[in-house]
């Protein structure tokens, strides 16, 4: 993991991350409650919480949330956004060393961060901090790669201009890998439609929130942005494009 520098690579993208990254559908939280007995009384540890997007979902659902995030600029952004909520606090910690008490949380949630972790060591830490019978939920907003000219063009753009796009994309979990990670405690998965309607500025910001998008000054940056403008102009309807996701969640205990 050291070559990808997961705790550092978003430090210069916090503003774009706050403004342009998608949230998570409330339908997913309702599914957790309905299918897996999650209650608003449960304390959630949001691991790799970033700027607090996933924490906000659980706060909106009535939960108390302890966010764990090693990146200081992201932690500061989350504190600025959510710090006035008495049910929220954020701590400096990693998936493998959260600093939380043993058996202290009901639900460990990881949204859009699990692929950066040492997954065996994170599992041991999640086991330690979960109460007996507590659940872990691993969540991704998985961008759809096919289905519209925009989605297919955007994937091609990332493969052409992204600095280490393929290496990052290959780390995302699929059901066989997540079933293996949970082991005997695996309870299942849910999938939910989600998306963003973006004008060009929103699309540009969404692209530049990605850690594999070359920044200004990189030789690939201007060609990438030119290609993005052309893609948007060819696909936009009424000045917007639909940036479509499947929000996928894997749930289980950690025996």
237, part of any domain: no
Q: Is residue 201 part of a domain?
A: no
Judge whether residue 17 has pLDDT over 80: no
Query: How crowded is residue 71: how many other Cβ atoms within 10 Å of its Cβ?
Result: 21
Q: What pLDDT is attached to residue 116?
A: 87
For residue 239, being part of any structural domain is answered with: no
Answer yes or no: is 222 within a domain: no
| Cα–Cα distance measured from residue 174 to residue 58, given in angstroms and rounded to the nearest whole number | 24
Per-position DSSP letters for 35-89, written without gaps between them: HH---TTSEEEEET-TTSHHHHHHHHTT-EEEEE---HHHHHHHHHHHTT-TTEE
pLDDT at 13: 57
Is 204 a domain residue?
A: no
More confident residue, 124 or 15: 124
State the CATH number of the domain containing residue 26.
3.40.50.150
- For the range 164-170, what are the long-range contacts, defined as Cβ-Cβ under 8 Å and sequence gap of 24 or more? 164/4, 164/212, 165/212, 167/4, 168/4, 168/115, 168/211, 168/212
Number of domains in the chain: 1
Q: Output the pTM of the full model.
A: 0.89
CA-closest candidate to residue 113, choices 168, 155, 175: 168
pLDDT tens by residue, 39-72: 999 999 999 999 999 999 999 999 999 999 999 9
For residue 30, tell me if it sits in a domain.
yes
Closest Cα to residue 29, out of 105, 186, 139, 103? Answer: 139
Asked if the structure places residue 83 within a domain, the reply is yes
CB-CB contact of 82 with 88 (8 Å):
yes
Domain boundaries, position 178: 2-144+167-195+244-252
């Amino acid at each position: 993991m050291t070559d990808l520098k997961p705790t550092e690579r978003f430090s210069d993208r916090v503003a774009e991350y706050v403004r342009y990254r998608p949230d998570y559908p409330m339908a997913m939280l309702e599914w957790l409650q309905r299918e897996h007995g999650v209650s608003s009384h449960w304390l959630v540890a949001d691991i790799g919480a970033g700027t607090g997007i996933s924490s906000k979902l659980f706060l909106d659902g009535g939960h108390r949330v302890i966010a764990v995030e090693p990146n200081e600029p992201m932690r500061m952004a989350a504190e600025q956004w959510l710090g006035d909520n008495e049910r929220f606090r954020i701590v400096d910690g990693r998936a493998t060393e959260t600093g939380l008490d043993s058996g202290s949380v009901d639900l460990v949630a990881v949204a859009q961060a699990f692929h950066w972790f040492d997954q065996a060591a994170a599992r041991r830490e999640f086991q330690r901090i979960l109460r007996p019978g507590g659940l872990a939920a691993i969540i991704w907003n998985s961008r759809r790669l096919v289905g519209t000219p925009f989605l297919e063009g955007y994937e091609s753009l990332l493969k052409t201009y992204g600095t280490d796009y393929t290496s990052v994309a290959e780390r995302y979990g699929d059901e066989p890998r997540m079933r293996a990670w949970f082991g005997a405690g695996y309870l299942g998965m849910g999938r939910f439609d989600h998306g963003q309607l973006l004008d060009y500025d929103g699309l540009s910001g969404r692209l530049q929130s990605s850690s594999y998008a070359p920044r200004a000054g990189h030789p690939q940056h201007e060609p990438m942005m030119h290609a993005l403008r052309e893609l948007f102009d060819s696909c936009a309807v009424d000045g917007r494009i639909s940036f479509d996701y499947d929000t996928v969640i894997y749930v289980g205990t950690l025996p």
